[in-house]
Amino acid sequence: MTQDTALIDATGTPEDAAAAPERKVFIKTYGCQMNVYDSGRMSDALASEGYVTTDDMEDADLVLLNTCHIREKAAEKVYSALGRLRETKKVRAAEGREFMIGVAGCVAQAEGDEIARREPAVDVVIGPQTYHRLPQALRRARIGERVVDTEYALEDKFEHLPDPTKTKGRVRSVTAFLTVQEGCDKFCTFCVVPYTRGSEVSRPLLQIVSEAEKLVADGVRELTLLGQNVNAWHGVDAAGRAIGLGDLLYRLAEIPGLARLRYTTSHPRDMDDRLIEAHRDLRMLMPYLHLPVQAGSDRILKAMNRRHKAAEYVALIERIRAARPDIALSGDFIVGFPGETDEDFRATLDLVETVGYAQAYSFKYSTRPGTPGADLPDHVPEEIKVERLARLQELLLKQQQEFSQSLIGRTIDLLLEKPGRLPGQLIGRSPWLQSVNVDANSSQIGDIINVRITAAGPNSLFAEVAEG
Provide the strand spans (E) within 89-167.
100-105, 124-126, 147-149
Q: Distance between CA 460 and CA 407 in Å, rounded?
A: 12
Give the DSSP H or E segment for 61.
none
**Does the annotation flag 71 for ligand binding?**
no
- Measured distance CA(269)–CA(456) in Å, rounded: 34
| Closest listed residue to residue 11, CA positions, set 183, 147, 131 | 131
- Cβ neighbours, 10 Å, residue 93: 12
Give the helix/strand (H/E) hosting 150: none
Establish whether 128 is an annotated binding residue.
no
For residue 464, the one-letter residue type is E
Which residue(s) pair with 181 in the sheet?
202
- Let me know: does 51 contact 62? Beta carbons within 8 Å: yes
Cβ neighbours, 10 Å, residue 133: 25
Ligand-binding annotation for 191, yes or no, is yes
| DSSP code at position 170 | B
> Which are the contacts of 445, defined by CB distance < 8 A and separation ≥ 6?
174, 416, 417, 418, 419, 426
Q: Where are the beta strands (DSSP E) in 169-305?
A: 175-179, 181-182, 201-202, 222-226, 234-236, 242-244, 260-264, 288-290
Residues 373, 189 contacting (CB under 8 angstroms): yes
Query: Using the 8-state DSSP alphabet, how is residue 207 labeled?
Result: H
Residue 181, sorted as left (phi over 0), alpha (psi -120 to 50) or beta, turns out to be beta
Q: Taking Cα atoms as reference points, which of 419, 415, 407, 418 lies closest to residue 462?
A: 407
What is the rounded CA–CA span in Å between residue 317 and residue 249?
20
Cα three-residue angle 212-327-288, rounded to 5 degrees: 40
Task: Give the integer Cα–Cα distance in Å for 463 and 340.
Answer: 43
Q: Which helix (H) or strand (E) holds 355?
A: helix 342-355
- Strands 411-419, 425-429: parallel, antiparallel or unpaired by DSSP? antiparallel
Say whether 125 counts as a known binding-site residue: no
Any binding-site annotation on 246?
A: no
Q: Could you tell me which residues are beta bridge partners of residue 242?
A: 236
For residues 433 and 440, what is the distance between their CA atoms, to the nearest angstrom? 19
Q: Is 344 assigned to a binding site?
A: no
Binding positions: 32, 68, 106, 184, 188, 191
Which parts are annotated binding residues for [4Fe-4S] cluster?
32, 68, 106, 184, 188, 191
